Amino acid sequence: MTDRYIPRVREASIPEDGGWAELSQENVLILSIPDWRDIADRSAKGYRYVWMYDRQGDAYIFSFRLEDGTERAVAFARDHGGLLLRDERAYKAFSILVTPEPLHEMKEDTPMLLLEEISLKRHPKAGW
């Protein structure tokens, strides 16, 4: 049995841009978060994650911890990044690919962090 991941992060980043793509026949949510340059090239092997719902902010929070202990969180507010979570692809397993670069400037050598096998269980109070 594995220990449940309990996040310790105190703030969440808001993606500057995002969109859906299909890579190797997998649905991938690509996010541009410039502040995450320091973790963009790290391995996500063995990472743990949890989704939370912030009722006050009407936002889903995706929090994760890498094996080295680095933690980050992303806020998906209902009328901002939350629009991406209302896409039909977010209702089944997907991956999240984070880059510090603007999406329109991505190249093969762009630093990226790939978080695989993510599922979002919707919170009943969210309504979305």
pLDDT of residue 2: 59
| pTM passes above 0.85 | yes
What span, in angstroms and rounded, lies between the C-alpha atoms of 108 and 77? Answer: 30
Cα separation of the two ends of the chain: 31
Domain ranges in the chain are: 17-118
Full pLDDT tens readout for the chain, 128 residues:
457 899 999 999 999 999 999 999 999 999 999 999 999 999 999 999 999 999 999 999 999 999 999 999 999 999 999 999 999 999 999 999 999 999 999 998 999 999 999 999 999 888 88
Token pair belonging to 65:
């911890």
Q: Rounded to whole angstroms, how far apart are CA atoms 96 and 74?
A: 11
